[in-house]
Structure 1
Amino acid sequence: MTDLADRRGAETQVYQPAEDTRLLAEAAVSEIEPPARVLDVGTGSGYVAATVADETGADVVGSDLNPYAVRQAADRGVPVVRSDLVSAFRDGAFDAVVFNPPYLPRDDDAAREDWMEVALSGGDDGRAVVEPFLDDVGRVLAPDGFALVLVSTLTGVDEVIEYAGERGFSAVAVREESFPFETLSVLKLWK
């Protein structure tokens, strides 16, 4: 009984698939071709990783800092590593990296008391996790590799593109979806 209770409690600590998750998965499926080696950063429930693996045949691994997410993704059958962004991976290891970052602007001083807050909060401007990701993702990409990053108008799409450009990336939006309070875009970034 305890194991079942632990699993149910863990679900409240892991970001579950929503509109943004599905948009990123759709973009990844349309952009990734086997035999690609793919990393799903911040894999959460493992939905994007599992979808990409199932629909493209690519070799996909997930990573997440949240231990509950690591367990949930593994339960879904996703090979997963506990890691902060791409820090656990070697240079040039992936043909594609996909990432649905925490992008909601939140007060930097607000308490990050649980894993769901960590999964949602992108800091004061919504880019507190996106920028460190962009600083290091180029290191783990193979020479012709690319990253797919979900961003919101709440985060500042132009600001993310500018920041990526300062790190040597070209960018194009490959998917967009509008909602009453924001537009979500999946950016494809390559060097």
Structure 2
Amino acid sequence: MADETVDENDPVVVTKIEYKGTKVSVLEDVYEPAEDTFLMADCAVKEFSDYEKNSGNARHAEQFELDDPFSALEVGCGSGFVSAFLLNHFSDLDLIAVDINPNAVKCAQMNGVRAFESDMFDIFEKSRHLRSIDTPIEDVSPSKPPLGFDLILFNPPYLPTSEDEKVSGMLNYAFDGGVTGRDSIDRFLKEVGDYLKSDGFFLLLISSITGLDETVTEMKKNGFSAEVVGTKKCSFEELIVLKGKRL
């Protein structure tokens, strides 16, 4: 029997997680699915199911071919659990996931998610630029759907973090929200409109630590309504999922 060799550079699985029938493996330096992940996953399935039912007939009648799939993007996918959970419920969903942490991208891919390394939406801007100058790019490079995504998900790093509170390694990306905890949230709200379909929606998970009123104000400032679609008490904070649609 041949000896199995292990490359020291191969990612190491540190744990496996299962929730409501969806199983993922989690690699080193990747955020382990927890209460916030499961809350987002449950909200995503419920809200997308409602959206699919309510907009399906209209979107096909007005501007789509019957076989055009609904599209979704998860920003900051981590292990890929939320995306995998969605795909288990909506197998025809055209879903792309991105994360700034390359280990998270490897992890999500290992868990069956079409994931790419990107700082938020940067990968789509790069792809758009290359296409605009007719530069050959790989077929696997993701691009924004012509009319935007139906659903965009973001469970951001929301903990207020000073320099001495940073976590070592790439895992810091999952926790570090800047001094106020709002760095990634505010950037997301400024940029998300460029990638969202006119009748689409996004789900944003925040903590009571981050500030619900401040986030709602920022959403409205950027042209979005704000609806609380899920909450969960969790030790010292309350987790909140906000749904945003164009005003």
Name the TM-score, length of structure 2 as normaliser. 0.72
Superposition deviation, residue 16 in structure 1: 1.4
Structure 1, unmatched stretches of 5+, are none
Work out whether 1:56 is the aligned partner of 2:90.
yes
- Which residue of structure 2 lines up, in the alignment, with residue 25 of structure 1? 41
Between stretches 126-135 and 57-66, larger displacement belongs to: 57-66
- Which residue of structure 1 lines up, in the alignment, with residue 81 of structure 2? 47
Q: String of CA shifts for 1:99-150, please: whole Å, max 9, x gaps.
A: 1100111115755641111111111111111111111011000110111000
Work out whether 1:103 is the aligned partner of 2:108.
no
Question: Does the CA-based 8 Å contact 1:63-1:82 persist in structure 2?
Answer: yes
Backbone CA RMSD of aligned residues: 1.9
Name which structure has the greater RCO, CA cutoff 8 Å, separation 6+.
Answer: 1
**Counterparts in 2 of 1:19 and 1:112: CA distance versus 1, 3 Å:** closer
Structure 1 CA distance for aligned equivalents of residues 242 and 74 of structure 2: 15
One-letter amino acid of the structure 1 residue matched with residue 157 of structure 2: P
3-state SS of paired residue (2:151): strand
**Corresponding pairs, count:** 191
Structure number with greater Rg is 2
One-letter amino acid of the structure 2 residue matched with residue 7 of structure 1: V
One-letter amino acid of the structure 2 residue matched with residue 176 of structure 1: T
Q: String of CA shifts for 1:64-91, please: whole Å, max 9, x gaps.
A: 1110011010011100111111222337
1:7 to 3, 12, 23: 12
Equivalences for residues 111-190 of structure 1 within 5 A: 111=166, 113-190=168-245
2:120 to 59, 64, 85: 85
**Counterparts in 2 of 1:6 and 1:12: CA distance versus 1, 3 Å:** closer
Q: Percent identity?
A: 39
Superposition deviation, residue 179 in structure 1: 1.9
Question: Does the CA-based 8 Å contact 2:43-2:241 persist in structure 1?
Answer: yes
After the TM superposition, list the runs of 4 or more consecutive aligned residues in structure 1 that deviate by more than 4 angstroms: 108-112
**Counterparts in 2 of 1:117 and 1:60: CA distance versus 1, 3 Å:** same
Question: Does the CA-based 8 Å contact 1:169-1:189 persist in structure 2?
Answer: yes
Superposition deviation, residue 5 in structure 1: 5.6
Structure 2, unmatched stretches of 5+, are 1-5, 15-25, 53-68, 125-143
Question: Does the CA-based 8 Å contact 1:32-1:56 persist in structure 2?
Answer: no
3-state SS of paired residue (2:183): coil
3-state SS of paired residue (2:217): helix
Question: Does the CA-based 8 Å contact 2:231-2:238 persist in structure 1?
Answer: yes
Structure 1 CA distance for aligned equivalents of residues 106 and 10 of structure 2: 14
3-state SS of paired residue (2:121): coil
Structure 2 CA distance for aligned equivalents of residues 106 and 126 of structure 1: 7
Structure 1 CA distance for aligned equivalents of residues 215 and 236 of structure 2: 19
Structure 1 CA distance for aligned equivalents of residues 165 and 147 of structure 2: 36
Structure 2 CA distance for aligned equivalents of residues 181 and 110 of structure 1: 18
